Amino acid sequence: MELHPKKRLEVIVEAPALARILRFLDERGVKGYTILPAIAGSGASGRIWSREGQVGDAGRMVAIVAIMDEARLEQLFDDLYGIVSRQIGIVSISDCMVVRKDAF
């Protein structure tokens, strides 16, 4: 089995910003992504937050995961950070290996 190097982009952000970030990724040709609910966590303030008992999207957080070539990531990273920096959230990038390189 042959493995191919890619980059994994993970964005954790407030749910109201989700549509804007997905539109941004779609407009830049990102082939796919996965959206996961963030159940609970703790940020720079040290306070623990949880979505338990929340109604609506106001305090809800989501994680968006996309895998892509390094060249594509370099093209979109600064603009993506410009969106996320105005929200509560983080952007992380890591190396990963995939089996089907053409799927990303």
Give residue limits of the domains in the chain: 4-103
pLDDT digits (tens, 9 = 90+) for 78-97: 899 888 888 888 999 999 99
HEC profile of 33-98: CEEEEECEEECCCCCEEECCCCCCCCCCEEEEEEEECHHHHHHHHHHHHHHHCCCCEEEEEEEEEE
**What DSSP element (H or E) covers 19?**
helix 18-27
User: Model pTM?
Assistant: 0.83
Classified by CATH at the fold level, domain 4-103 comes out as Alpha-Beta Plaits (3.30.70)
Q: Comparing 23 with 102, which gets the higher pLDDT?
A: 23
> What pLDDT is recorded for position 53?
61
Q: Comparing 102 with 73, which gets the higher pLDDT?
A: 73
pLDDT digits (tens, 9 = 90+) for 27-66: 998 988 999 998 888 777 777 667 666 655 566 899 999 9
